[in-house]
Amino acid sequence: MSKKKIGLPLLVIAMGWVAIIGCTKTVTVLEDNTPAVTKTVSFSKDLVPILGSSCAKSGCHSGSVAPNLSSATAYSALVNGNYINIATPEKSIVYLWLTGKEAAAMPLGSSNNPSNINGLMLAWIKQGAKNN
């Protein structure tokens, strides 16, 4: 076989290999479009109803999957379970889950950011994560 016949296929294979290696995805960047909340957020009045209707459903965060976000246990589950970071609210595990930065955006199977839970949760954490 001549050098031309061997060289061309090798060149094509090498170019394909470079193209495959150069086209790998290494990072997903999520843009946070959460509307800012400037009012005082009440855990019991603002967050518990959303957590109850969107998260504390059968098979989810109603006791079978941590944290238990049922109305009676949601506050202690979030605070005592280390899901809240008051020093750096944007790095709170619960906020990262809600926004999809830690895993699939929560709540699964619901509209993205129902009732602006992302903004309310972040504001509540920034306001000291009070049991109010």
The answer to whether 88 touches 129, Cβ cutoff 8 Å, is: no
Residues 55, 39, 122, 67, CA torsion sign: negative
Q: What are the structural domain ranges in the chain?
A: 43-126
- Residue 126: per-residue pLDDT: 97
- Residue 14: per-residue pLDDT: 64
The answer to whether 1 touches 85, Cβ cutoff 8 Å, is: no
Q: Left (φ > 0), alpha (ψ -120 to 50) or beta: where does 36 sit?
A: beta
The answer to whether 63 touches 70, Cβ cutoff 8 Å, is: yes
Q: Which residue has the higher pLDDT, 12 or 23?
A: 12
Q: Per residue in 87-116, pLDDT tens? A: 999 999 999 998 888 888 888 776 677 788
